[in-house]
């Protein structure tokens, strides 16, 4: 399975390549001042406004730095009956990796989005579970 690698402060998080629509470069986002903190803004993605989550803020409580390697990953977020387009902003989104091993299962109450871990090229790679990346509360805040 091919996984897109997102690095946040030296920690590697893997996202299934099948769930990724596209990787776009960092552009200026439309700021939403009344929105939650982890919402970086709205991206004009092919004529559609797509909410972009700041993963670094969600995990490390710090906003992403503006660099070449800071990119927005467009994904389809499954919500009950339909899927919604969502942008995930992360740093150092520069490579993909092919994982052949099974992920060792993991379930953490404070971090439900971590669906397991595997050692890849000597480094721990956490598997991000896209369905649980937002808590119901956060999903309500973003999508209503």
Partner 1 sequence: MRVASSNWERKQKESQGYAIKNFLVDRSMSILVLGTLLTVFLLTTATREMTDQIVRDGALRQAQALVQTFQSMAFSSKPSSLQIQNMVSKVEQDLKGEGQGVRLITMPANPFERRDAQGSGPLDDFQRKALRQLNEGKVPSFCGLSEYKGEVSFRYAVLLSGPEESPGVDLLLEVVQPLGSVRADIKRQIYSGAGILLGLGGLGLWFLGAVFGRLKNLRDHRAASESILQEQVQQLLSFVSRAADGDLTSDVPFQGEDSVGMLASGLSVMINQLGELVWQSQLLSRQVVSSLSEFASSALRQESIVLEQSHRSSTLAKAAVTILDSSLSVESTMESMTVVAEHTATIAASGQAGLETMEWTMTQVTQSVERIQQRLTELNDRAGNIGGVVTTITRVADQTNLLSLNASIEAEKAGDYGLGFGVVAEEISRLADQTAVASLDIEEMVNEMQNAVAAGVESMKQLAEDVGMGVLHVQTAADQLTLIMYEVQQMVPKFEEVATEIRSQSLLADDMNETIQDLEGVARSSVDAIRESNHAINELKCLAMLMQGEVERFKVHQ
Longest dimension (CA), the chain: 43
**Shortest distance in whole angstroms from residue 22 CB to partner 1:** 6
Q: Tokens representing 43?
A: 């991206």
Per DSSP (E only), the strands in 35-139 are 39-45, 48-54, 71-79, 82-98, 114-120, 123-128
The single residue among 6, 8, 20, 29 that binds partner 1, judged by CB under 8 A, is 20
- 10 vs 17: CA distance, rounded Å: 21
Contact by Cβ (8 Å): 99, 77? no
Half-sphere exposure for 61 (CA within 13 Å, toward CB): 0
- Based on the shown chain and the rule CB under 8 A, indicate whether residue 75 belongs to the binding site for partner 1: no
Contact by Cβ (8 Å): 112, 105? no
**Shortest distance in whole angstroms from residue 35 CB to partner 1:** 27
# chain residues binding partner 1, by CB under 8 A = 16
The single residue among 30, 31, 49, 69 that binds partner 1, judged by CB under 8 A, is 69
- Based on the shown chain and the rule CB under 8 A, indicate whether residue 66 belongs to the binding site for partner 1: no
The CA-based angle 67-48-139, given to 5 degrees, is: 80
Binding characters for partner 1, 92-111, by CB under 8 A (x = yes) = -xxxx---------------
The single residue among 9, 11, 22, 30 that binds partner 1, judged by CB under 8 A, is 22
Residue closer to partner 1 (CB basis): 31 or 83: 83
**Shortest distance in whole angstroms from residue 138 CB to partner 1:** 26
Binding site for partner 1 (CB under 8 A): 2, 4, 17-18, 20, 22-25, 68-69, 71, 93-96
């Amino acid at each position: 399975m091919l996984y897109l690698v997102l690095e946040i402060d030296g920690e590697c998080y893997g996202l299934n390549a099948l769930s990724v629509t596209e990787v776009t470069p960092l552009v200026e986002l439309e700021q939403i001042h009344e929105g939650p903190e982890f919402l970086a803004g709205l991206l004009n993605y092919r004529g559609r406004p797509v909410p972009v989550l700041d993963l670094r803020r969600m995990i490390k409580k710090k906003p992403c730095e503006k660099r070449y390697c800071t990119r927005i990953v467009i994904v389809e977020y499954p919500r009950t009956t339909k899927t919604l387009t969502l942008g995930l902003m992360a740093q150092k989104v520069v490579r993909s990796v092919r994982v052949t091993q099974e992920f060792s299962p993991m379930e953490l109450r404070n971090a439900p989005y971590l669906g397991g871990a595997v050692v890849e090229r000597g480094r721990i790679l956490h598997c991000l579970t896209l369905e649980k990346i937002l808590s119901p509360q956060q999903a309500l805040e973003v999508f209503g």
